[in-house]
Amino acid sequence: MYFLDVSIRLLIKWINVIDYYIRALTGVVLFPIDSKRTVLELEALIKERGRQFDFREPCRVQLDCLESDKKINLFGRLAVRNFLGSPAVIRKFLRYVDESPEIRKINITRPIFIVGQMRTGTTFLFNLLAQDESLFSPPFWQISDPTPRELDRNGKDSRIKEAVGNIDLLHIYGPQTQTTHPVDALGPDECELQFMRYFVTRDLPHTVYRNLAPYQRWYRTVDDQTLQNLYQNYKLELQSFIHQAGTQDKTVLRKDSNHASFIRQLLATFPDARVIYTVRDPAEIVPSACSMNESYVELSYFLADIDQKQIGRQVLGHMMHEAECFLAYRKQYDENNQGSSQFMDINYEDFIKAPMATVRCIYEHFGMELSDAAVAKMERYIKESPQYKHGKHIYNAERYGFTVDALRKAFRDYIEYFNVRLT
């Protein structure tokens, strides 16, 4: 199996090299990123379905940035085409909802959202809580395409096989991603793919691309109407996932740091949501996030074209924006809602040292019942998922142009308000 994986990895790299010389010698771009065509498809969707699908501005800005980047290799262009915004996928999904009108009537009551920043333990906490069968977290294979498909010869939704194949290919081509941020096609996954479908997405998947400054500026000044449209569609997809899984009696559990930037709209859409905010020393989370992004950069660029300092600037800019948005909201909320249990803050160091103690605090804080069966499954998950299961993630601030003191100074308000423990 090892030699097969190495052979496939080398084959993809050679295909990227061949694609480079085809572009250099002939000017022909195979599988190009076509901004104009996608915008036209989106305009047709708007004409057919209404203004709530008007994501033309983020679509145009983002794809124009990507289309102008001549350094993206073939694998990177295919990744953009497959995962970033698809009016055709949205149209197919809406036809499915039309055929099942009961989807729109599904209530989502007191959902739980984990909105901490990257590298603050959100994935481990998310997967740990998902062991409780009274909670529902849609798996990657379902999130990647919200519309059910025909069953395969084994009686399973054909989306499963496609998703497993995609993640297997990711891990074969980029084995380093398993150390920095492993993805399980069959396991619960964050909301990022849902946001990407509508072209409104945090910088994370796109820090691999060099020319995204205009889009990043747009993201940080996104208007309220676009966010309202985004969350209306996001909620409809969640309702459909519940319908497909038959889990109307379960509590929805979701996780994504996008929600920290858009916390006002999240709570406007789900006013009774319970929100968990994980925090950690910025001197750890920023370089760790940079390293994780670099592991994905290596999939879409040749090594000679990678600029670690640029990755650092982009990641830092995004993470500061995210922290500032959430902190501003929380200061106002906490002042006006003293004694409220809607939010719970968790220090990373406390969680990693005693994960089950943290879980019990969460359940007590939100008035939830923690069953013996859930405890057993969580303890088994902890035992089977040690911190360095896929290898130790090694990173340092200097590689990305930072110093520890400068990072802590930049996040001083965040550290003070949330009483972040410094390592």
pLDDT in tens, 200-217: 987 544 555 667 888 888
Which residues face 157 on adjacent strands? 151
Q: What is the pLDDT of residues 272-311, one digit of tens each?
A: 999 999 999 999 999 999 999 898 888 999 989 889 998 9
Domain count, the chain: 1
In a domain, 265, yes or no: yes
d(CA 293, CA 204): 7
Provide the pLDDT for residue 208.
Answer: 53
Give Cα 122 distance to the centre of its chain. Answer: 11
Structural Rg of the chain based on CA atoms: 21
Could you tell me if residue 98 is inside a domain?
yes
- Supply the pLDDT for residue 367: 96
Domain around 352: 31-417
Q: How far apart are CA 157 and CA 151, in angstroms?
A: 5
Quote the pLDDT of residue 255: 97
**Least confident segment among 36-50, 211-225, 245-259, 367-381:** 211-225
Any domain includes 18: no
Domain assignment of residue 10, yes or no: no
Backbone angles phi, psi at 420, to 5 degrees: -70, 130
Nearest to 238 by CA among 43, 107, 371: 107
Confidence of residue 410 (pLDDT cuts 50, 70, 90): very high
Residue 309 lies in a domain: yes
Closest CA to 212 of 58, 368, 377, 11: 58
**Percentage of residues in the chain having pLDDT higher than 70:** 96
pLDDT mean over 47-62: 94
Which range is least confidently modeled, 30-39, 222-231, 399-408?
30-39
For residue 192, tell me if it sits in a domain: yes
CA distances from 362 to 96, 275, 344, 375 (A): 36, 10, 7, 13
**80: confidence class by pLDDT, cuts 50, 70, 90:** confident
Q: Measured between alpha carbons, how far is 214 from 195 in angstroms, rounded to an integer?
A: 18
Can you spell out the DSSP letters for 274-287? EEEEEE--HHHHHH
**pLDDT tens-digit series, residues 99-139:** 999 999 999 999 999 999 999 999 999 999 999 999 999 99
What is the sign, positive or negative, of the torsion defined by CA atoms of 220, 222, 228, 234? negative
* Residue 5, in any domain of the structure: no
Task: Please report how many Cα atoms fall inside a 13 Å half-sphere around the Cα of residue 406, on the Cβ side.
Answer: 11
pTM given for the model? 0.94
Is the pLDDT reported for residue 387 higher than 90? no
- Report if residue 407 sits inside a domain: yes
Burial level of 158, CB count in 10 A (0-12/13-18/19+)? middle
Across the range 367-388, mean pLDDT stands at 93
d(CA 65, CA 81): 14
Q: What is the CATH number of the domain that holds 180?
A: 3.40.50.300
pLDDT band at 395 (very low <50, low <70, confident <90, very high): confident
